Amino acid sequence: MRRPTKDPYARPAIATLERLHMELGGKLLVCRQDAQDLGEQMLHIEAVIKMLDPSFNLARITVKRRKANGWFKRGTLYRKALDVLRTAEQPLTATDIAWKMLEAADIKNASKTDAQVVAQGLLRSLISHNGKGIQNVAEGKPAKWRLAATCALFFCNSGLHCGRMPFTCTLPTFEPVIEGQTLTFGVGYDESASYSVVIGFSPLAKDGHAEFYFLLYRYSSISETELAIASGKLTKKLIDNSEHRRLIVEAVCEAILVLLEQVRPEWVFRCTNDPGLEGKSLRKHEAIAEAFKSCGYEEHPVSERAGCKAWWMWNVQDNS
């Protein structure tokens, strides 16, 4: 059983941090195993060298470090590549893109090796974004890249040749994944990140009592970081299309129905994450309340906490 947190507003953040800590720990274990495997491979190679030349001095072998490019900062390669693809008349290989990036940056006298270094750093991002704004149109090797049709159409119609690709909503396709008292489903992507929604119940100190939370997760494939967003105001900045936000709220309500088939707390605490919400800003919370009511819950408003509106939902259907 998870230990309750004194501050109810900190629970979603702590749950997110706990999940991030677990993921980092898992990556650390993988890295340690990889280091052990690489060390064993090096020992095998050293043994073969000694078989071929017993007098060979292994201490002379130095570690070959990957040469980093000195022109583009980390995290900017993919955006620079998109700028190239937006004006390209035909699909380009990673090396072709690298040459054009160097040319656009006014880098003169760049060698073939310099272009290959940039291409190697770019290729991983291109592969991870395949089908998400860009696509590989070559049947064999080397891969040749161009903007995906939907992305190219957007830039053509809007007249834009720079800036980030807009958020692409994948709803109403709804594929929820349930783990215990948590449900997750994807909602869309942009040029550098994928988005998913996580809803769930965080147990409170008293048995049968839980807090409902609803978070938007943004996973950046460039920096390989995950951001949990609870604020509706920040969500609006990231997803500025009102129709996309409406589809997400509808999916959240549908997800609540699915989750309540598996987990039915006696009392559920709900609150807004942004203070001072009125009128239209509360429509999302009204829709969530209706989803609970359709599953046999009754809403009981309580006094505001730090300017945030709050409610208790009572499971009337199972406790009448």
128, 158, 188: which is the final residue of a domain?
Answer: 158
Task: Please check whether residue 148 lies inside any domain of the structure.
Answer: yes
What is the spatial distance between Cα 179 and Cα 30, in angstroms, rounded to a whole number?
23
Residue 22 parent element (H or E): helix 11-52
Tokens of 229: 């967003």
Tokens of 317: 């259907």
> Residue 103 — φ and ψ, nearest 5°?
-65, -40
Q: How, if at all, do strands 182-189 and 193-203 pair?
A: antiparallel
Say if residue 176 is in the same domain as residue 314: yes
Three-state SS at 216: strand
pLDDT score, position 42 = 79
Say if residue 206 is in the same domain as residue 242: yes
Say if residue 185 is in the same domain as residue 206: yes
Q: At residue 164, does pLDDT exceed 60?
A: no
Query: For helices 94-104 and 77-87, what crossing angle results, to 10°?
Result: 90
Burial of 248 (0-12, 13-18, 19+ CB in 10 A): buried
Q: At residue 270, does pLDDT exceed 60?
A: yes
Per residue in 188-237, pLDDT (tens digit) is: 888 778 899 999 998 887 778 999 998 998 887 666 677 888 888 888 88
158, 190, 225: which is the final residue of a domain?
Answer: 158
Cβ–Cβ under 8 Å, residues 16 and 218: no
Q: At residue 181, does pLDDT exceed 50?
A: yes
pLDDT bracket for residue 50 (50, 70, 90): confident
Tokens of 247: 């589809």
The boundaries of the domain holding residue 82 are 77-158
Say if residue 147 is in the same domain as residue 194: no
Q: Which of 228, 216, 230, 224 is nearest to 275 (CA)?
A: 230
Say if residue 310 is in the same domain as residue 191: yes
What is the spatial distance between Cα 290 and Cα 297, in angstroms, rounded to a whole number?
9
Is 106 or 185 the better-scoring residue by pLDDT? 185
> Residue 45 — φ and ψ, nearest 5°?
-65, -40
Report field, pTM of the whole predicted structure over 0.75: no
**DSSP symbols for 86-102:** HH-SS-B-HHHHHHHHH
Say if residue 115 is in the same domain as residue 227: no
Task: Please check whether residue 89 lies inside any domain of the structure.
Answer: yes
Say if residue 277 is in the same domain as residue 233: yes
Say if residue 177 is in the same domain as residue 258: yes
For the residues 255-274, what does the mean pLDDT come to?
92
What is the spatial distance between Cα 126 and Cα 47, in angstroms, rounded to a whole number?
38
pLDDT bracket for residue 160 (50, 70, 90): very low
Task: Please check whether residue 1 lies inside any domain of the structure.
Answer: no
Please state which of the ranges 60-74, 144-158, 259-273 shows the lowest mean pLDDT. 144-158
What is the spatial distance between Cα 63 and Cα 309, in angstroms, rounded to a whole number?
59
What is the spatial distance between Cα 30 and Cα 236, in angstroms, rounded to a whole number?
36
Count CB-CB contacts under 10 A for residue 195: 24
